[in-house]
Structure 1
Amino acid sequence: MPIDLVIIMTETRRKKIKKIFDDNGPIVKASILRENKLCSRDITELIEAGFVKKHRTGFYSWASSDYNMSDIELASSLVPNGVICLYSAAVHHEFTTINPTIVSVAVPSSTVKPQLPEYPPIELYVFSKTFFSLGETSEQLSYTKIRIYDRERTVCDFFRLRYQLGEDVAFEVLKNYMARKNKNLQKLMEYAARLRIKTKIRPYLEAML
């Protein structure tokens, strides 16, 4: 077979593979690639050629099409069983002026901790399976949908872990939440009761009303 025909066939296959990434990306799991008849040798060849980027074992993106995803989007995609929480959720909800360099991700205590990528830096928080889904919501960002805790769960988590995270940060988060017109105090107290911090947070709420 002539060399130029081999090049044409290789380019044709590369375009088909890129379409798989376009249809399923930006981050694509190895299981999806296998379903589309791609073997590990194909992926290795594309990585070595600079067409595909490996984020962690089993998670890939087309190098020219990762769209400069935000760290939160990347973390959410690379830890699919996790939920964006604490500092990262507080920044997303505009409850704090802190600009963390690490993405905070909660994982359920019932699962094995996932392998983390070199980038972005991720800090895992293991939450009880009983309360893991409380306040979980999803939001569509620029390039992907993320799992994240809502405003009320974020406030409660800071109070629940205030000695570990810092009382000053917990008070800042609560103060900024209370300044919102769309706050839901009934939901906040329901969450606080389930997380067993109702008596801890109530005095501060009453002082801010």
Structure 2
Amino acid sequence: MKGSEIVKQYEQLDKLMADHDGIVQTSQVVAKGISKPVFYDYIKEKKLERVAHGVYASADAWIDTLYLVHLRSKQAVFSHETALFLHDLTDREPAPYSITVKTGYNPNRLKADGVQVYTVKPELHVVGRTIAQTSFGHTVPVYDMERTICDLIRSRKGIEIQTFQDAIKQYVRRKDKNLRTLMQDASLFRVEKILRQYLEVLL
């Protein structure tokens, strides 16, 4: 490859890094027609850090860990306590992050990195899926408030009761709540009876 071509590809890489807040994916690089050997030279020269499989960041980049989890698994939807956090239904920063994937997806790599992984049938995976912004301004997939309340009831044995009760209290106060959708979801996920018990106390 000629020197001028390498310089041009380096300039493209500089622009990619600038456009994506110092984080770049191998797939983005390949999509731009930049060769992998040139990219790997660029990684060495710029001392980029491998922050996830196929994801590299400059040393001074602010790492949005929620966005990184999304980049690593495009089908993962943020759920449970992480969804509460993204919807401002809890003040507690989630640790670990919780995601939901379709049954059959291999979550071992994410689990090894400490992510809490829930699985559901493919037809339930899309129910209540929406988007939210991380504190860094990135858009990520998340379940809506109604689906999240139902998920928490389904997984209540593994959730702190205080977190769950506070979330329902906050939800009831919200102007953008949708009780009809909540009851439809509760019926779909077979938690209607328990949900009604909670709501009778709060509404």
* TM range, smaller chain: 0.7 to 0.9
Could you say which residue in structure 1 is the equivalent of 2:180?
A: 186
**1:197 corresponds to:** 191
| Alpha-carbon distance in 2 for matches of 1:189, 1:42 | 54
Shift of 1:50: 3.0
Distance 1:65 1:127, change over 3 A: farther
Identity of aligned residues (%): 23
Deviations 1:59-85 (A, max 9, x none): 234x1674x243222222222211111
What displacement does 1:208 show? Answer: 1.0
Q: Which residue of 1 aligns with 2:31?
A: 35
* Matched residue SS, 2:84: helix
- TM-score, normalised by the number of residues in structure 1: 0.80
> Aligned to 1:151, which of 125, 145, 152?
145
Is the counterpart of residue 55 in structure 1 residue 51 in structure 2?
Answer: yes
Q: TM-score, normalised by structure 2?
A: 0.82
Instruction: Indicate the RMSD between aligned Cα atoms, in angstroms.
Output: 2.9
CA deviation vs aligned residue, 1:97-153 (integer Å, no higher than 9, x gap): 33323221211113232633987x532222222211111101344442110111111
Counterpart mapping for 1:3-18 below 5 A: 11-18=7-14
2:147–2:182 CA contact under 8 A, matched in 1: yes
Distance 1:9 1:29, change over 3 A: closer
Out of 144, 160, 170, the residue aligned to residue 176 of structure 1 is 170
Give CA-to-partner distance per residue, 1:6-29, whole Å, 9 cap, x none. 6x8755542222224445676543
CA distance in 1, matches of 2:119, 2:194: 22
Q: Counterpart of 1:48 in structure 2: which amino acid?
A: K
Q: Determine which of 117, 129, 132 is the counterpart of 1:124.
A: 117
| Counterpart secondary structure, 1:19 | helix
1:87/1:19 Cα in 2 relative to 1: closer, same or farther (>3 Å)? same
Of the structure 1 ranges 27-36 and 76-85, higher mean CA displacement relative to structure 2 is found in 27-36
Flag structure 2 segments of 5+ consecutive residues without an equivalent.
none
**Is 1:97 aligned with 2:91?**
yes
Rounded to whole Å, the distance in 2 between the matches of 1:9 and 1:202 is: 65
Distance change in 2, residues 1:203/1:116 (3 Å): closer
**1-side partners of 2:11 and 2:108: how far apart?**
31
Deviations 1:141-178 (A, max 9, x none): 44421101111111111111101223332222111111
